[in-house]
Each structure stands twice: as C-alpha cells, then as structure tokens.
C-alpha cells in the first residue's frame, strides 16, 4: 500500500505569536509568564558529555546551549578539572531545528588526498525530520594543507569547518570508528528508503578520488550486510581491535534485538547464540555489545542482554570459543561475579577496566570490573562522594583507563560535568554488610561546565507505588510542593516510548514552575510497558494489551482519591504526555472523562492506523512489532477501536496540543486532525504547530514559547486557588 498523500492544513486560520510558531485558537501568552519562566529556562542550560577526544584524550568533547544560541553547541575541554579552558567548536545559526544524533571524534582521514587530522564525523539533520546526513567537522590548523571553501559547507566561523559527505534525503546512523582509526562503519536506508543496512568506509588509504578543491563529494563506502529482506534494521555497535569483525544488532522490536558478528572482509553475519540461554529466542534483546580492548583478547565481547532472565545483565562472550562469563546475571545457578537484580544500562570497555551502570529503580549505580591485578574478576561498586543521587552517564579515557567523566542529573542540577580517578581508591576496597565490595570516590566538578545555578527551590522525588487493576505494582516518581502537608491540585505526566522510564533526575522548566509558582503536585507514573522493571513488565502492554496501560492510570486515579486525600485534590487533576504518552493522555480523557480538568499533549498519537501508515518507512516494521500491524484486518479493527480519534465525543476536558511540523515519527496530521475534531465537538481545544521542529523541540524560542503556553493553559483551566 503506498503511503498516504501529505496532509494539508493550509486553509486553517492561525496567528504567529513567536518565531516558528503557528497558533490555532489560542489566546496571547502573558509576558509575565514568559518573564517568570526565564529563571527556570536558564537552569536547563546544563552540559552533556560526548566523549574523550580520539587521538587527543587529554581533552573531552561536551555540549551546552549558550545564552546566545538557539540550539545546543559543541565544545572542547581539558580533561584535567584544574585547567579551566573551554573552546567552542560550533556556531550553529541555522534558524532551524537542527539535530545532531551522532558526534564521533576521529584521529583524521585522507578523503581529499591530504591528511585532515582530528575533528569528528557527525550525523545531523537541518530541520528536525531525522533524515540525518553525514558531515565532517575539522579544523584547518590540524590539516596538512588548507582546504579551499567547499560548496555546501556550513558557515561555522569562528569555529571549525563542516563539510557535507552525503547528499540525499536518506537516513544515516550508528556511526562507529575503529580503535585503529582505519575504518568507519555506519547504517543507512539509502538502498531503498526503508531498510537500514550497514556500510564500511576507509579513513586511511581511502582513494576516494576527491581532490583538494571546492567540489563537494559523496563519501564512498561498501555495503557489508546482506541485501534488504523483510525490513532489515541493522545497528552498528563496535569494531574489533584487529579490524576483523563488526558487531551488529538487528532491531526488530523493543523485545527482540539479536546480535551478530560480521567479518568485515566479507561473509554473512553470524548470530550470537548464547549457550544455555533460559529465555525464548523472540524475547531476547542485546542492548549493548562492545569488543574487548585487550590486544590478547580481541574477539571477546561484553554484552548487555536479558537472555538469562527478566533483567538485562552484563556478560562476556568469546566469539571463537563460544564461552560465557556471567558478570551480573542474577540467576544463582550461573555463578556470576556479582548478581544484580536490576537492568544494567551502560558499559565502557577499556584495556584495564570494564565500567558499567545499573538502573536501580530510576537511580544510577556505577560499577567497575578490573581485568588484571589483585581485584581481577571482582566487581566493585563505585560510590560517589558528595552526590545527592540521581541519574548519570559515563565515558572512560582510552589512554588513561582510570579516568572517567560523568554527566550528572539530579533534582538539584540539570547537566553538571564531573571527573573521577579510581586509581588510588582501588587500593582500599571496602566490604558492606552483605559482603559486596565498594569504593568511595570523590567527584571533581568542572567549573567551566557547571550549569546555571538554580534560583528557585528544588525537591527530590518521593517513591510512590500502587496496585493496578490486576494486582501489578506500578512505580512512580512523586513531587509535592509542601511535602504532603497541604491538599493541592495534581498534574500527572506520562512518558512516551512506550519503553521509556520516568527517573529520578531533575525535570524540565515547567515541572519546577508548576511546583513553585502554581503550587501543584506532579506524579510521573511508570505504567506497564516502561523499561527498567524487567522485560515482562515492559511487554505487559503489547498489541492487544495496549489499553491495560491506560487502566494503570485509572488505578492511579483511584489510589489518589482513596489513599491520598490529605495531600492531593482528586477533583482537580491535569494530565500531560508526549508521543506515546500523548496517546495515553488522549485515551485517559476518553476512558475517564470526568476525572481531568484539562490536558496538554506534545506530538500525540491520535489514530493508530494512520500513524503506522505515515511514520517514517525506516520505523514502520519496528513500530508494527510493538503496536500491531494495521495491514492485518483483525489488528486494524482493534487499532481503530482503541484510537482516540474515533471517540472524541467522550472527551470533556479542554485540550492543548503542540506538534513539530517536520516530525517524521508521529506526523503532524495526528495533532491537526485531533484538534479540529475536538474543537468541532464543542470542547475547547488549542494547537501549536512548530516550524522546523521534529519529534521533540530543539530551538530555544520554540521551547520557551510552548512551555509558557502550557503554563498559561494550566492557569486558566486548573487555576491556583
């Protein structure tokens, strides 16, 4: 079936209250809200860690949105926290929702017949459509000769230069650079627009034929995965230390993601089949796979997988001997080094250590596995001194494996970058009451990478759990402005995904405004289908069980009304959600029409069959595996039955929707059609269509206006007492 024609809504009346904003049926947003919101917006200008710079590991690449930029920019920073330099690399002024999905630093390449040292390969779009192209960032000071201005080169002065390497409208993703810096792997749907296949390009001795001139060129590469069949969705993971093998995943669904090893010189991908796996093949997912950095063991692979139980565990697998070493698998009979009954979520493999994190009920815990010395094969927890707890990501220094940089997120800070060195601490390992090994390590924060200080009160999340209709326990993150000492209105905010998770980290500006300025409580439920609580919990909403997750919200409403009367006003509740969370929001308005005072949705799924027909072709097979295949008449009938668009007459609460005009995941027709239908039914409805924005807003002006408009909507339809 061909895709539906583009959706046209040009005949509808709208105003343009801010740059890139089309507003439908909306009142002006008072300036006082924009002004009061400013300190909350400023607090979001934190920093993120990209990676240690390849070939220049004394420096780290980080990101930050400075006050003078519409979008996030890239910086180079010394790894030594005592040196406070910060060099800005990018000066994006594109007037668009530019998204960088990948920034991979390289030692250099010879694509134009000379050596261009340093810099990076970017996968970037220019309008939020997620048709990411490949770009080369470099600095002339690292080149053997200065490259003339190139046609189509982005203007980035006074930063480095950015040349486009691909010139089509396809998608490029999962860029991997070999440790030798000889080859690069990536995936793309350039063969047919749908299937993501894997390619390899040379960085050294490339013989591309391009010259030292102003002519653009397309990066040559060779296809290494088989020709497309039945919706291939390959993801490149890593290249072995000897450049012989490429690790790949096949991303079928959130539940089924097998891992493969491919000989780069030629051949078919060989699926990794773990010995004595306890789970069904179609329920096994490989989350991360990374080759060893030990030259003596180049074909050892560290993988995160749920092949041996409900949770995602870390193990080591030798692709030649087929032997497995269980590192965190909780099943007692498998005798793992340190059983962990939570999802392990991130790994950093170096020549001396394997670092990994675990997601413990929405909080991050950090561990290290020394590969030699007296602590060999001992998993040691790294406890961070003077850290309030929250979520963080890590990156290890390939040259000095004892060094880590972290991006910290908590209720106090949104994006603080810190450094730690574990060397001396491993000499004084402690043992807790359960016999587990740990060390305490001080964090050194980078003063030049500290977020704007918060000029308002912040409070930590309180854990909240309730039993749903079938007895399943649903975890939540709960914030109350007076710690439960007074009865206040409630905002329920539902995450998307559906396989996402509301964690303990600091929230977006509207979260803190709602708590501090409006005085409302906020609950973030992790309904069935959320990740972090095991794959069976995550699969509990699949296809025909879709509305069971909606019933979870009904049970939350009952819990609030019956058990939280002294702190929450069950007659004054608003609901928010984006993407799949937007579907949940609309479904809640239909299933529980008298329970909500108002609702605010971002890029919601309103009609399942048309969503699946219009979502980007590269995503369709994956989404059909999660939600059901609308081409099957029985499934289509079910999807029509649960689509909010078909039950608008049941909605009683005022609704506001914001959507990116170039969103390729949930196309903008979902929002426009839902808004029109609700408005025509006699219920107040507002709509914001955001230009040059995709699935998630990136431009400062768009973010600030849509946030203020949401708060204005809450003020009117859930007014403070």
* pLDDT tens profile 153-175: 999 999 999 999 999 999 999 99
pLDDT in tens, 627-643: 999 999 999 999 999 99
| Cβ count within 10 A of residue 512 | 25
Give kind and range of the element (H or E) at residue 705.
helix 700-717
- The 3-state DSSP class for residue 676 equals helix
pLDDT on residue 288: 87
pLDDT range class, residue 1, cuts 50, 70, 90: very low
Give yes or no for residue 244 having a pLDDT over 60.
yes
Domains in the chain and their CATH numbers? 21-41+453-717 (3.40.50.1820)
- Say how many C-beta atoms besides its own lie within 10 A of residue 68's C-beta: 9
Lookup: tokens for 101? 């999905």
Determine the distance from the C-alpha atom of residue 554 to the mean position of all C-alpha atoms in its chain, rounded to a whole number: 28
- Picking from 247, 375, 246, 239, the residue whose alpha carbon sits closest to that of residue 305 is 247
Task: Please report the pLDDT score of residue 547 as a whole number.
Answer: 93
pLDDT band with cut points at 50, 70 and 90 for residue 424: confident
Q: Is residue 3 pLDDT above 90, yes or no? A: no
The pLDDT score that the predictor gives to residue 230 is: 65
Looking at residues 208-213, what average pLDDT do you find? Answer: 94
Q: Are 535 and 544 a contacting pair, CB within 8 Å?
A: no
Cα torsion 538, 626, 123, 93: sign: negative
The 3-state secondary structure of 35-87, one letter per residue: HHHHHHHHCCCCEEEEEECCCCCCEEEEEECCCCCCCCEEEEEECCCCCCCCE
Tokens of 308: 């041996």
Mean pLDDT of 178-202: 95
Distances (CA, A) of 122 to 94, 173, 179: 16, 9, 18
Which structure tokens are listed for 124? 């970037």
Give the C-alpha separation, 417 to 446, whole Å: 6
Where b means 16+ CB within 10 Å and e means fewer, 112-121 reads bebebbbbbb
Structure tokens at 682: 């006699």
Please say whether the beta carbons of 406 and 392 come within 8 A: yes
In tens, the pLDDT along 96-147 reads 557 888 999 999 999 999 999 999 999 999 888 889 999 999 999 999 899 9
461-510 per-position pLDDT tens digit: 999 999 999 999 999 999 999 999 999 999 999 999 888 899 888 678 99
Average pLDDT, the chain: 93
Confidence check: pLDDT of 270 > 60: yes
Q: How far apart (Å, rounded) are the C-alpha atoms in residues 376 and 371?
A: 5
Statement: residue 6 has pLDDT above 80: no
Query: How far is it, in rounded angstroms, from Cα 515 to Cα 521?
Result: 6
| CA–CA distance, 715 with 65 (Å, rounded to integer) | 29
pTM score:
0.93
pLDDT at 95 (0 to 100): 59
Q: From CA 671, how far away is CA 679, in angstroms rounded?
A: 12
- Alpha-carbon 306 to chain mean position: 20
Distance CA(416)–CA(502), nearest Å, equals: 20
At a CB cut-off of 8 Å and minimum separation 6, what does 672 contact? 7, 9, 12, 659, 687, 689
Residue with the larger pLDDT of the pair 507 and 70: 70
For the segment 571-582, the average pLDDT, to the nearest whole number, is 96
Phi and psi at residue 338, in whole multiples of 5°? -155, 95
* Average confidence (pLDDT) over 350-358: 96
Cis peptide before 297 (omega within 30 of 0): no
Mean pLDDT of 20-30: 95
Over residues 409-431, mean pLDDT: 91
Q: Please give the pLDDT value at position 2.
A: 45
Backbone phi, psi, residue 250, to 5°: -105, 110
* Stronger pLDDT, 415 or 328, i.e. the higher one: 328
Average pLDDT over residues 650-677: 95
**Confidence tier at 5 by pLDDT (50, 70, 90):** low
Task: Output the pLDDT for position 625.
Answer: 85
Average pLDDT over residues 667-683: 96
Cα dihedral sign for 70, 72, 76, 81? Answer: positive
Residue with tokens 């519409």: 70
Place 542 in a pLDDT band, splitting at 50, 70 and 90.
confident
């Amino acid at each position: 079936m061909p895709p539906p024609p583009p959706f046209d809504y040009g005949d509808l009346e709208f105003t343009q209250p801010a740059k890139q904003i089309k507003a439908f049926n909306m009142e002006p947003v008072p300036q006082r809200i924009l002004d009061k919101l400013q300190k909350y917006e400023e607090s979001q200008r934190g920093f993120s860690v990209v990676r240690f710079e390849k070939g220049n590991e004394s420096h780290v690449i980080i990101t930050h949105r400075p006050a003078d930029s519409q979008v996030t920019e890239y910086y180079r920073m010394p790894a030594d926290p005592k040196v406070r330099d910060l060099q800005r690399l990018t000066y994006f002024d594109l007037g668009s929702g530019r998204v960088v999905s990948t920034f991979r630093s390289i030692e250099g390449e010879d694509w134009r017949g000379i050596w261009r040292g340093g810099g990076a390969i970017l996968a970037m779009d220019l309008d939020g459509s997620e048709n990411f192209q490949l770009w080369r960032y470099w600095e002339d000071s690292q080149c053997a000769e200065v490259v003339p201005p190139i046609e189509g080169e982005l203007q980035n002065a006074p930063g480095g230069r950015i040349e486009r390497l691909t010139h089509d409208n396809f998608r490029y993703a999962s860029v991997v650079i070999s440790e030798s810096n000889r080859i690069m792997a990536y995936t793309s749907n350039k063969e047919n627009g749908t299937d993501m296949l894997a390619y390899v390009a040379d960085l050294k001795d490339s013989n591309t034929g391009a010259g030292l001139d102003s002519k653009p060129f397309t990066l040559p590469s060779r296809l290494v995965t088989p020709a497309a069949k039945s919706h291939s969705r390959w993801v490149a993971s890593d290249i072995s230390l000897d450049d012989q093998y490429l690790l790949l995943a096949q991303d079928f669904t959130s539940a089924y993601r097998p891992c493969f090893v491919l000989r780069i010189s030629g051949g078919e991908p060989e699926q990794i089949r773990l010995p004595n796996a306890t789970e069904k093949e179609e329920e096994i997912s490989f989350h991360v796979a990374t080759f060893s950095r030990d030259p003596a063991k180049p074909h050892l692979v560290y993988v995160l997988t749920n092949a041996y139980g409900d949770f995602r565990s870390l193990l080591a697998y030798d692709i030649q001997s087929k032997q497995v070493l269980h590192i965190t698998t909780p099943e007692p009979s498998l005798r793992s080094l340190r059983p962990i009954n939570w999802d392990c979520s991130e790994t950093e493999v170096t020549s001396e250590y394997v670092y990994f994190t675990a997601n413990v009920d929405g909080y991050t815990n950090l561990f290290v596995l020394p590969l030699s010395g007296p602590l060999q094969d001992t998993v040691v927890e790294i406890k961070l001194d003077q850290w309030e707890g929250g979520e963080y990501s890590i990156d290890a220094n390939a040259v000095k494996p004892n060094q880590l940089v972290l991006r910290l997120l908590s209720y106090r800070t949104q994006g603080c970058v810190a450094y730690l060195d574990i060397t001396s601490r491993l000499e004084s390992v402690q043992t807790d009451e359960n016999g587990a090994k740990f060390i305490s390590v001080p964090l050194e924060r980078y003063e030049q990478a500290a977020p704007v200080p918060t000029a308002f009160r912040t409070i930590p999340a309180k854990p909240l759990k309730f039993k749903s209709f079938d007895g399943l326990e649903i975890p939540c993150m709960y914030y109350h402005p007076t710690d439960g000492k007074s009865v206040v209105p409630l905002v329920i905010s539902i995450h998307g995904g559906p396989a996402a998770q509301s964690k303990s980290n600091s929230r977006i500006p509207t979260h803190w405004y709602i708590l501090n300025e409006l005085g409302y409580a906020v609950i973030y439920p992790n309904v069935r289908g959320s990740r972090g609580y095991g794959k069976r919990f995550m699969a509990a909403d699949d296809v025909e069980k879709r509305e069971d997750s909606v019933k979870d919200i009904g049970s939350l409403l009952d819990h609030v009304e019956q058990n939280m009367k002294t702190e929450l006003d069950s007659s004054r509740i608003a609901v928010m959600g984006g993407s799949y969370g937007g579907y949940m929001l609309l479904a809640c308005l239909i299933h529980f029409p008298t329970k909500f005072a108002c609702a605010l949705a971002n890029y919601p799924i309103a009609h399942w069959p048309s969503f699946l027909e219009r979502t980007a072709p590269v995503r369709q097979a994956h989404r059909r595996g999660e939600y059901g295949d609308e081409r099957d008449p029985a499934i289509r009938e079910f999807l029509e039955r649960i689509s909010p668009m078909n039950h608008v007459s049941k909605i009683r609460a005022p609704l506001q929707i914001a959507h990116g005009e170039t969103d390729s995941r949930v196309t903008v027709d979902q929002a426009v059609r839902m808004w029109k239908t609700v408005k025509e039914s006699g219920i107040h409805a507002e709509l914001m269509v955001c230009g040059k924005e995709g699935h998630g807003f990136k431009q400062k002006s768009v973010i600030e206006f849509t946030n203020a408009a949401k708060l204005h909507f809450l003020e009117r339809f859930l007014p403070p007492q």
